[in-house]
Amino acid sequence: MNRFAHFSAVRWWGIVRKEFLQLRRDRLTFAMIVGIPLIQMALFGYAINTDPKHLPTALITADRSEFTRSFVAALGASGYFDIRQTLPDEAAGRRALARGQVLFVLDIPAGFTRELVTGRHPSLLMEADATDPVAVATALGALQGITQSALRKDLTGPLAPLGQKPAAFDVQVHRLYNPEGDSQYNVVPGLMGVILTMTMVIMTGLAITRERERGTMENLLATPVLPIEVTTGKIIPYVAIGLFQATIIVFASRYLFGVPIAGSLVLLYGAALLFIAATLAVGIMLSSIAQNQLQAVQLSFFYFLPNILLSGFMFPFFGMPGWAQTLGNLLPLTYFNRLVRAILLKGAGFSDIWPQVWPMLIFMGVVMAVAVRFYRRTLD
C-alpha cells in the first residue's frame, strides 16, 4: 500500500458533500442541533445559581425586643434569609432542619437583650443544614456583615460603646468583571463549551460507526479514499454545526441573559473553531475505537462527565486538589471555559489567551493522530 498516496481534494469534497446531504435528510439530528443549545441554555442558564438567596429560615424567639426585631429584619433584608416560620423550641427547630423544611434555624435565647445592654456579649445560635456546603456558604458568609450593621442604628447614646469599633485598617474589595456577582455571567458562557462538547462528540462519534453498522463502510473502504480524507471530510459539516450552535449561544447569552461581550467576537469565534475542531477529533477517535453506535455513545459519556466536573464549569477549578487540576488540564473544555470567560467578560486580547490556545492545539494534534492511526483501512 502506498502510504503516501496523495490527498485528493476531489475525494475530500465528495465526503464533505455526502455528509451534508445525509445530515440534511436526518431530521431528528437537525432538530437536535438547534434544540439542544436552546433547551440547555434556557434550562441551565436560568436554573443554575451559585449564589442562592431566599433560603427558608425559622425563628425561635425566647426574647423579643427592639434589638432582636432589628436583627431579624436585617436578616430578611439581606435577601439571603427568608423567615418562614416561628418555632416554639429548639427540638422543633431540629425537626424542621431534619425534615428539610428550613435550611436555617435562628435561636434567640431568653435574656438576650438584658445581656446585650449590660455588655455581657451574648450569643445567638444560627443552626444551618450544612449537608450541601455550597447552598449555605454564601448566606453564612453574609451573616457577619449583617450582625455588624444591624444593631448600629439601635446602639446609640449610652449603648454606643457596645457597637463594634472599626478595624485599624480597611480592605477594599473590587469585584472585577462581574461586580454584581451574577452567576449567569459565569454559567452561560461556560455552557457554550459544555453544549459543544456534548453534541460534537456524540454526532461525530456516530458518523463513522454508522457507516460500519449499515455496511456502507465496506463500500467506502473498497474505493481509493484515504483515511485522512474520510476523517477530516466527515468533520467539516459538524464544524459548521458547531459554529451555528455557538452563534445561538452567543445571542442567547447577550440578549436573554444580558451577559456583556467585552472582547472581540472574531477572537471568540476563532477560539470556538479551535475548540470545535479539538472536540470533533475526539469524536472521530472514539468512533474509530467503538464497534457500533451504542458503544460510541457510551464512550462519549465517559468523556463528557470529567469534562463537566473537572473543567471548572461546575466547580471552581482552583478548589480542586492538584492531581484533579492536572487531569482537568488535559481536557480542552478547561481551556475553552477560561477562554470564553476571558473574552466575553474580561475583554481579553489574543496575547492574553495564548496560554489557553496552545494546549488545545496540542490536544487536537495528538487526538487527530490517534484517530487516523486507529481508523481501520481494512475490515480486519
Partner 1 sequence: MNSPPGTMQPASSLAQGAATPAIDVHGLNKHFGDKHVVRDVSLRVERGEIFGFLGPNGSGKTTCIRMLCGLLTPDSGSGTCLGADLLTESARIKRQVGYMTQRFSYWEDLTIRENLDFVARMYQMGGRAEAVERALEGLGLQDRAGQLAGTLSGGWKQRLALAAALLHQPQLLLLDEPTAGVDPSARRDFWEELHRLAAQGISVLVSTHYMDEAERCHKLAYIAWGTLLAQGTAAQIIASLGLATWSVSGSNPPSDISAALRGAPGVAQTVVFGTALQVSGTDEVALGATLGKLGRDQPALRIERIDTRLEDAFIYLMSHARDPAAQSAAA
Which three cell numbers, joined as nine digits, stand for 40? 440547555
Q: Are 57 and 75 in contact (CB under 8 A)?
A: yes
Q: Are 20 and 33 in contact (CB under 8 A)?
A: no
Which residue lies nearer to partner 1 by CB, 8 or 86?
Answer: 8
Number of residues that bind partner 1 (CB under 8 A): 29
Q: Does 291 bind partner 1 (CB under 8 A)?
A: no
Report d(CA 371, CA 228) in Å as an integer: 9
Q: Does 305 bind partner 1 (CB under 8 A)?
A: no
Q: Does 236 bind partner 1 (CB under 8 A)?
A: no
Among 157, 158, 215, 316, binds partner 1 (CB under 8 A): 215
Report d(CA 322, CA 237) in Å as an integer: 38
Residues numbered 349-378 forming contacts with partner 1, rule: CB under 8 A: 378
Sheet holding 81-86, edge to edge: 81-86, 55-61, 104-108, 125-128
Report d(CA 372, CA 21) in Å as an integer: 24
Which residue lies nearer to partner 1 by CB, 136 or 226?
Answer: 226
Would you list the DSSP string of 348-378? --HHHHHHHHHHHHHHHHHHHHHHHHHS-SS
Report d(CA 20, CA 46) in Å as an integer: 34
Q: Kindly state the smallest distance separating residue 203's Cβ from partner 1, in Å.
A: 15
Which one of 3-11, 99-107, 149-157, 245-253 is the stretch in contact with partner 1 (CB under 8 A)? 3-11
Which one of 189-197, 215-223, 334-342, 366-374 is the stretch in contact with partner 1 (CB under 8 A)? 215-223
Which one of 122-130, 138-146, 220-228, 276-284 is the stretch in contact with partner 1 (CB under 8 A)? 220-228
Task: Provide the 3-class DSSP secondary structure of residue 121.
Answer: coil
Quick one: angle between helices 227-255 and 265-289, nearest 10? 140
> Which x/- pattern over 18-37 shows residues binding partner 1 (rule: CB under 8 A)?
x--xx--xx-----------
Q: How many CA atoms lie within 13 A of 144 on its CB side?
A: 3
Among 49, 86, 131, 219, binds partner 1 (CB under 8 A): 219
Task: Provide the 3-class DSSP secondary structure of residue 110.
Answer: coil
Which residue lies nearer to partner 1 by CB, 176 or 379?
Answer: 379
Q: Kindly state the smallest distance separating residue 17's Cβ from partner 1, in Å.
A: 7
Which three cell numbers, joined as nine digits, stand for 133? 456546603
Q: Does 316 bind partner 1 (CB under 8 A)?
A: no
Q: Give, for 81, the enclosing helix (H) or strand (E).
A: strand 81-86
Among 48, 117, 137, 221, binds partner 1 (CB under 8 A): 221
Which one of 16-24, 66-74, 258-266, 320-328 is the stretch in contact with partner 1 (CB under 8 A)? 16-24
Which amino acid is located at 319 in the chain?
G
Which one of 117-125, 210-218, 241-249, 295-303 is the stretch in contact with partner 1 (CB under 8 A)? 210-218
Q: Does 53 bind partner 1 (CB under 8 A)?
A: no
Contact residues for partner 1 (CB under 8 A)? 1-2, 5-6, 8, 10-11, 13-14, 17-18, 21-22, 25-26, 214-216, 218-225, 378-380
